[in-house]
């Protein structure tokens, strides 16, 4: 399906009133290639979206927005693991629920993360001690120019903290069309965060982990169908061990998570909360009252309201803690993605 001059209000979870020059809902790979060729002919940019759960449109988009709507989940069982091939247009949480219904554990910590399967490798999504890179086997990538699909092995995806090659070299002119996952039959629960620490590792079931994760996320995060938001707005910052120790002498109760490379991950939500910013509002945009890491469209916010609020939050945290937060949300301008840190600086 293709539409001229279409509203994107229902295609970004911030529910911002922005438009695209063209909107294409692509249910087949052929539609994707055709949309790309048309955009190239018009000399206009193209943006591929899933559910728009991790984007902030700064203005109307001057080209084609293509919604990835490819469907299908295939499961292959081997002695030691299940191998899944999942089309990029499947809803991520639906996949997590479906695997558990099939008796396949391994994704339960990633329950209720908004968005589509195709977006998961771009961000290397993660929550409650698990990241996609731990279960990802490969990513199938469509080259829109040649029409060929390349299988990118997980080692070549350059996964990092909310990072991958799909944000950089393989961003323009490529679309993720499928993701391969390997879920080990030797299941061991990951219970290091939040209410999961209260569960007994000896007796806990994957479904109990799933239900606990869902309860935690629902208690803290606003439902985007009711209150526009893009989930966690900022990444949890990584600082040197030295910086972390200096902060801990001042703030002994500060949550901190030492990493294997000697860096320490801090909790962005805690830093924002310590600045007394919950409920702080600029225009129609506000810091969520339950979870400081989430910025919400509280009252018909404009894109400029959200940017002004994000800038205020970032500057306030930096002046109190000397730590500069980086947005996790992708900032989209009229012709494509912009450097979010530069926009806020």
Tell me whether residue 218 is one of the annotated catalytic residues.
no
CA angle 187, 127, 198 (to 5 degrees): 65
d(CA 327, CA 337): 13
d(CA 187, CA 205): 10
260 burial class (0-12, 13-18, 19+ CB within 10 angstroms)? exposed
- H-state helical runs in 260-339: 268-274, 303-321
Tell me whether residue 77 is one of the annotated catalytic residues.
no
CA angle 28, 32, 36 (to 5 degrees): 165
Query: Do 121 and 102 form a contact (C-beta atoms < 8 A)?
Result: no
Query: Do 132 and 126 form a contact (C-beta atoms < 8 A)?
Result: yes
The number of beta carbons lying within 10 Å of the beta carbon of residue 221 is: 19
Tell me whether residue 342 is one of the annotated catalytic residues.
no
Take residue 251 and report the two structure tokens written for it: 């703030």
d(CA 23, CA 7): 9
* Catalytic one of 90, 232, 314, 330: 232
d(CA 178, CA 180): 7
The β-bridge partners of 286 are 281, 296
* Catalytic one of 51, 108, 119, 162: 162
- The catalytic site residues sit at 162, 232, 328
């Amino acid at each position: 399906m293709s539409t001229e001059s279409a509203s994107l209000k229902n295609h970004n979870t911030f529910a911002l009133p922005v438009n695209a020059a063209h909107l294409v809902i692509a249910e087949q790979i052929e539609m994707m290639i055709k949309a790309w060729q048309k955009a190239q002919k018009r000399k206009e940019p193209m943006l591929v979206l899933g559910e728009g759960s991790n984007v902030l449109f700064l203005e109307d988009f001057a080209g084609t927005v293509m919604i990835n709507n490819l469907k299908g989940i295939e499961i292959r069982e081997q002695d030691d693991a299940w191998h899944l091939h999942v089309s990029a247009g499947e809803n991520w949480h639906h996949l997590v629920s479906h695997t558990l219904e099939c008796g396949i554990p391994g994704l339960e910590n990633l329950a209720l993360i908004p968005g589509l399967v195709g977006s998961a490798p771009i961000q290397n999504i993660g929550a409650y001690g698990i990241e996609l890179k731990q279960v990802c086997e490969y990513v199938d990538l469509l080259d829109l120019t040649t029409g060929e699909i390349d299988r990118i092995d997980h080692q070549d995806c350059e996964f990092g903290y909310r990072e991958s090659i799909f944000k950089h070299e393989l961003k323009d002119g490529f679309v993720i069309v499928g993701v391969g996952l390997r879920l080990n039959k030797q299941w061991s629960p990951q219970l290091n965060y939040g209410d999961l620490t209260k569960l007994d590792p000896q007796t806990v079931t994957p479904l109990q982990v799933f239900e606990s994760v869902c309860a935690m996320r629902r208690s803290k995060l606003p439902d985007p169908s009711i209150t526009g938001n893009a989930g966690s707005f900022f990444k949890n910052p990584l600082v040197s061990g030295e910086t972390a120790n200096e902060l801990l002498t001042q703030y002994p109760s500060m949550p901190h998570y030492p990493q294997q490379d000697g860096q320490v991950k801090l909790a962005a939500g805690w830093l924002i909360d310590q600045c007394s910013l919950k409920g702080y509002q600029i225009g129609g945009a506000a810091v969520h009252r339950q979870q400081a890491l989430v910025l919400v469209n509280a009252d018909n916010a404009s894109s400029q309201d959200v940017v002004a609020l994000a800038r205020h939050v970032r500057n306030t945290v930096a002046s109190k803690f000397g730590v500069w937060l980086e947005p996790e949300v992708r900032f989209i301008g009229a012709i494509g993605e912009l450097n979010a840190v530069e926009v806020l600086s």
